[in-house]
């Protein structure tokens, strides 16, 4: 993953022509993301401006952090997919297979060219990520009698395992849980204790943690 390839957070660097092209592509990519989110989530609340702005941020982070042009392009594609998934989950509490499953396949394919960890580590990460979250969801459902985590969350973590490798998953889950607690805390501040009983779209903090660990590596590395 880029975090391990660049030995920590790099300094900002000047944009070369390839990087400028990637940033330029982010604007139509944002418009396409808005179209996909509207069609997939079937929600008029999915505005195009936040997604275009989000794609611009993803593009700048990709080219500033990742030195290799081909890997920066792959990083942007990952961020683009995660941005759509997080938006859809925030709107309708769903992580569609049409986005999560190709992300698993793309991570396994890309792992052939990543020198930091072997393919088997990414394959194991995908399997372990799915099975652990599937088990958590099944246990929660049997104890509480209703859904807590959906299969979409398990498939998203499987995608994270495919991209990051199994060793990075604990860092990703820890960051996602911390982000989830912040989300709930802000909701309590705004709406009071009633917010504690509300469901949160856990796919949003999962996408955030996935992106951060991909860019900067696992905690403590």
Q: Considering Cα of 149, then 155, then 156, then 161, what sign does the dihedral take? A: positive
- Tell me which residue of 73, 136, 130, 133 sits closest to 101, measured CA to CA: 130
* Predicted pLDDT at 148: 61
**Cα→Cα distances 94→84, 151, 177, Å:** 11, 9, 18
* Predicted pLDDT at 10: 42
pTM here?
0.89
* Predicted pLDDT at 48: 82
* Predicted pLDDT at 80: 97
DSSP state of 112: G
Q: How far is CA 9 from the centre of its chain?
A: 19
Percentage of the chain with pLDDT > 70?
A: 85
Model confidence pLDDT, tens digit, residues 151-207: 899 999 999 999 999 999 999 999 999 998 888 787 777 776 665 667 788 999 999
Q: Looking at residues 137-158, what average pLDDT do you find?
A: 80
Least confident window among 12-21, 104-113, 116-125, 169-178 = 12-21
């Amino acid at each position: 993953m880029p975090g391990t390839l660049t030995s920590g957070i790099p300094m900002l660097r000047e944009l070369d022509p390839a990087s400028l092209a990637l940033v330029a592509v982010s604007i139509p990519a944002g418009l396409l993301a808005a179209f996909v989110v509207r069609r997939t989530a079937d929600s008029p609340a999915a505005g195009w401006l936040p997604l275009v702005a989000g794609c611009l941020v993803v593009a700048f982070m990709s080219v500033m952090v990742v030195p290799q042009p081909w890997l920066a392009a792959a990083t942007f594609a990952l961020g683009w997919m995660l941005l759509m998934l997080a938006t859809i989950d925030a709107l309708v509490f769903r992580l569609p297979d049409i986005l999560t499953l190709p992300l698993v396949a793309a991570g396994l394919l890309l792992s052939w060219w990543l020198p930091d960890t072997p393919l088997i580590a990414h394959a194991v990460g995908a399997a372990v990520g799915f099975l652990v979250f599937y088990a958590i969801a099944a246990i929660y459902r049997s104890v509480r009698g209703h859904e807590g985590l959906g299969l979409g969350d398990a498939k998203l973590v499987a995608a994270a395992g495919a991209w990051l490798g199994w060793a990075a998953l604990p860092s990703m889950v820890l960051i996602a849980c911390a982000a989830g607690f912040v989300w709930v805390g802000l909701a309590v501040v705004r709406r009071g204790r009633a917010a504690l009983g509300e469901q949160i779209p856990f796919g949003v903090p999962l996408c955030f943690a996935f992106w951060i660990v991909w860019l900067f590596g696992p905690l403590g590395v």
